[in-house]
Homo-oligomer: A and B are copies of this chain.
Amino acid sequence: MIERIAILGTGLLGTSAGLALRAAGFSGSLTGWNRSSEQAELALRMGAIDSIATDPLQMARSSQIVLLAAPVFAILDWMEQFAGVLGPEQLITDVGSTKAQIAAAADRHFNRPGRASFLPGHPMAGKERSGAAQADANLYRGAVWLFTDDPNWKRSEEAAALVADWRIWVAKMGAKAMDLDAVRHDELVAWVSHLPQFVSTALSALLEDRMGDAPELKDVGGRGLREMTRLGASPYSMWRDIAHTNTKEICDALFALEQRLAYIRENLRTPELRSEFDKANQFRRE
């Protein structure tokens, strides 16, 4: 059913989606646009898109699916621009990292009679380094693809069919769809995604201060240190938007971890340390 997809943002996630769709047998058109034309050209050379649009609005107008693959604030900007421009037979979906503000904008601008539809989405996949060069047709394989759809939203029959079809393509890309409420989504990812990121950033920054002038000492840490600081390479540009749009939940999660670390620090020589290890072991039980 879906024959014309526009990918707005051919960075890591957008380019990977194009590659994954092609690998899964999508034979329709894949048009792309990126603020940096270099990234768009790279996505084109990689085969993730088959043409580069010169005008993103015109590209969106002539597509059935518009995939917004950009940081959250850029997605919110595009949503405003597309609000009065796209029609009820069109579906916009996204890969934005936080969903409450995007779902609120979707409620404001879309999903009502005469308007285009919007399906908020968030694949739990990524890499610590961004850009089309990092893209991978298998990026979404085995990953959870979260949707925060709202049962109160009204869609045309055509748009409802596009939603159903997009979910099929998400499955074909190898991802497992999971549906939840947008506010609950932001709370959940604060713990399982944002907290690990900010901890890795904090640990990496702290160690850079301690031993940035003695890089040979990093080797001493081995695999454990490498894994615990891998996300330290993540780009500020993407995480700024997440920090701004999920501040309270991230604050709560960080504060809880600070308290947990203090508790461990105060119990390094008491039997309470065993309880903490037992509980951690339980989280990792197989």
Contact = CB atoms under 8 A, between A and B. Distances in A.
A279 B211 CA distance: 12
Interface in A185-212: 188-189, 191-193, 195-212
Given A262-B258, A269-B247, A274 B218 contact: no
A282 interface: yes
A138 to B, nearest CB: 12
A134 interface: no
A73 to B, nearest CB: 13
Interface in A8-37: none
A164 interface: no
A220 interface: yes
Interface string A164-195: 00000000000010100000000011011101
Contact of A188 (B188, B217, B276): B217
Interface stretch (A64-72, A79-87, A101-109, A222-230): A222-230
B193 A233 contact: no
Nearest to A265: B254
Interface in A224-259: 224-225, 227-236, 239-240, 243-244, 247, 250-251, 254-258
Counting every copy of the chain, the complex holds 2
Given A207-B283, A264-B202, A222 B143 contact: yes
A255 to B, nearest CB: 6
Interface size class of chain A, counting residues whose CB lies under 8 Å from the partner chain: 35 or more
A268 B280 contact: no
A124 interface: yes
Contacts of A221: 124, 192-193, 196
Contact of A220 (B192, B224, B239): B192
A233 B144 contact: no
A126 B193 CA distance: 26
Contact of A232 (B198, B208, B239, B283): B283
A244 B144 CA distance: 41
Given A243-B268, A261-B254, A227 B225 contact: no
Contacts of A255: 262, 265
A243 B269 contact: yes
A204 to B, nearest CB: 4
Given A225-B192, A255-B265, A277-B234, A282 B212 contact: yes
A239 B268 CA distance: 10
Nearest to A209: B279
Interface of A: 124-126, 128, 143-144, 146, 176, 178, 188-189, 191-193, 195-212, 217-222, 224-225, 227-236, 239-240, 243-244, 247, 250-251, 254-258, 260-262, 264-265, 268-269, 273-274, 276-284
